[in-house]
Amino acid sequence: MRKSRFFCLALACFLAIVVIFVFDGYLGVYDSATIKAGEFTQEIPAGSWPTGSYPYSVSSQSDQKIFFTYRIDNRWFTAYRKTVIVSLWQQNQKVADLYSQTLEIQPFKKATAEWTADPADLNLGVFQQEQFTVRIEQDGSIREVIIISFYLPVTETGVPKAIPVPPPIR
Amino acid sequence: MRLRVYILYGFGIITSIGGVSLLAAQYIRFISEPVKLVLLLLVVALFFCLGRYFEEIGW
């Protein structure tokens, strides 16, 4: 009996570790995002949202749309019902609303929300370089993504003009 | 013959620990910081209890 006491304790520790992994590591509600700006796609995996003063940043040309796909994975035994509100901010002032919808996700199911940030629709015009914050709000939680938008001047394309040959030096 | 058995046991133990570690690494990033500390203490307790158990059975 005494010999198996430590074995039972070790087994109890192992089971406790497994239970913690299941309940704290797997179960819960997880959100992730995919941002496509130009030809670049950036993933923000669940559990990797930065907290504090260094949010994710995405660079984009000011005349290109930015496509957002936001996924919520409900790994819990009850349905998850939350209103997702997405807005665009600049210098702590709201510039535009991008998305607002109430999502109801059944237990162990996923839901996806998609929206597009289009500089043309936002009436932002052409700018040299500006920064925006996309704020994704659910009840009680805020996710932020910084957009660094830059302007590339459009160059005229066409047949290159022939350079005149300089006259010979005498 | 006996050496080969030990090698196979060792291989099995290493691959088992490696597999469990790989699976655990997938989920450990979702675990909150205080619970990570609890997990660390539990792992220490687990190895302590296993060590005492093997000591008592005469290994």
ipTM for the predicted complex:
0.76
Does B50 contact A21 at a Cβ distance shorter than 8 Å? no
| Dist CA A27 CA A6 (whole Å) | 30
Contacts of B30 in chain A (CB under 8 A): 24-26, 28, 30, 46-47
Taking an 8 Å cut-off on Cβ atoms, the answer to whether B49 and A7 are in contact is: yes
Residues A17, B30: C-beta atoms closer than 8 Å: no
Q: What are phi and psi of A3, to 5 degrees?
A: -65, -40
| CB-based contact B36:A30 (threshold 8 Å) | no
Let me know the angle formed at the C-alpha of A122 by A120 and A127, rounded to the nearest 5 degrees: 65
Is B31–A26 a contact, with Cβ atoms under 8 angstroms apart?
Answer: no
Identify from A5, A7, A73 which residue to disrupt to test chain B contact, counting B C-beta atoms within 10 A and taking the largest count.
A7
Please state the pTM of the whole predicted model: 0.72
Tens digit of pLDDT for each residue in A37-70?
Answer: 888 899 998 878 887 777 888 888 777 888 999 9
C-alpha pair distances (Å), A8 with each of A16, A22, B20, B49, B57: 12, 21, 21, 9, 14
Alpha-carbon span A69 to A90, nearest angstrom? 21
Q: Beta strands A141-150 and A56-61: pairing type? A: parallel
Tell me which chain A residues have a C-beta less than 8 angstroms from the C-beta of B53: 3-4, 6-7, 10
The H or E element that residue B25 is part of is helix B2-28
How many helices (H) and strands (E) chain A has is answered by 1, 9
Backbone dihedral region for residue A91 (phi beyond 0: left; psi -120 to 50: alpha; all else: beta): left
Residues in B closer than 8 angstroms to A13, CB to CB, are 42-43, 45-46, 49
Q: Check if A48 contacts B (Cβ < 8 Å).
A: yes
Say whether residue A170 is in contact with chain B using an 8 A CB cutoff: no
Tens digits of per-residue pLDDT, B3-51? 889 999 999 999 999 998 888 888 888 888 899 999 999 999 999 999 9
Q: Is B43 on the interface with A (CB under 8 A)?
A: yes
Q: Is the dihedral of CA A133, A137, A141, A143 positive or negative?
A: negative
CA distance A35 to A41: 6
**Which residues from chain B sit within 8 angstroms of residue A31, using beta carbons?**
none
Q: What is the 3-state secondary structure (H, E, C) of B28-52?
A: HCCCCHHHHHHHHHHHHHHHHHHHH
Report residue A25's pLDDT band, with 50, 70 and 90 as the boundaries: confident
Grouping H, G, I as helix, E, B as strand and the rest as coil, residue A124 is coil
Tell me the pLDDT band of A1, cut-offs 50, 70 and 90.
low
Alpha-carbon torsion angle A87, A76, A32, A132, nearest 10: 20
